[in-house]
Structure 1
């Protein structure tokens, strides 16, 4: 499965919290070997609030909704589309996810697990560093934007 549509979606994302990764074609192909492509359907749950999974999801196409559930209410935090990333907070913090992430528009996401990232860190340290820096930048941008601050998952 080609990763070129994901690379295009990331390159074309102009949102303030965009995941800015500028790999060449060969680097994208190498990255594909560490990712798991997932076809998504409306209602699929990518991330469950409170779970400890450290996977990061890169959105190639479709749309996902990020929402937090409390004992009193369900609050929508963000809607993310092609070129976005989700799961970055738990990836770094090793804390349980702070929100649910549910597919609202069918498409494709690419999953990077913590184990595969560790493998990449050993085999492709420069690529792993670039990804970590780009994910960190997403968190910084979301934290600086008051309405997106709570959307760090």
Structure 2
């Protein structure tokens, strides 16, 4: 999977919590240089509840499930994340532990934005970094509102 497919997936993702960065194609490609691709097998854990991970991940291919360990039966799954979704975005804002697990349900490709790379982007292309931060913050707000409505944890 190339970066153009990821860009297409992110731009076409239509969920309430979609990452809606206002970047043109050139800016997307510049931003993409700061991302690292990872392949996951079905069952691989991308994010472990209570671990600190200073990265955010874009789903390029596959399906990930977000769930909470130790929840009441039938209430552990929070969400399914499909291509174009952003997950683990709290890692860009805080070194607090994650409140949920994120596991690959199918073979998947995710693109990671690790905090040190984001800090590099901030120094080299502050307008792009600011837009990424704004869009990731908007994802968090949408998920916080949903969690308050449903009274569930935020990943």
The question of a shared fold, defined as TM-score above 0.5 by the shorter chain, is answered with yes
Q: 1:76 to 1:121 in 2, by over 3 A?
A: same
**What is the alpha-carbon root mean square deviation over aligned residues?**
1.8
In 2, are the aligned partners of 1:4 and 1:28 still within 8 Å (CA)?
Answer: no
Q: Which runs of 5+ in 1 are unaligned?
A: none
Whole-angstrom distance in 2 between the partners of 1:21 and 1:113: 18
Q: Which runs of 5+ in 2 are unaligned?
A: none
Whole-angstrom distance in 2 between the partners of 1:148 and 1:79: 17
Provide TM-score, normalisation by structure 1. 0.91
1:122 matched residue in structure 2: 123
1:90 matched residue in structure 2: 91
Return the structure number with greater strand share.
Answer: 1
1:105 matched residue in structure 2: 106
Provide TM-score, normalisation by structure 2. 0.90
Across the two proteins, how many residue pairs are aligned to each other?
152
In 2, are the aligned partners of 1:66 and 1:77 still within 8 Å (CA)?
Answer: yes
Whole-angstrom distance in 1 between the partners of 2:16 and 2:87: 14
| TM superposition shift of 1:40 | 2.0
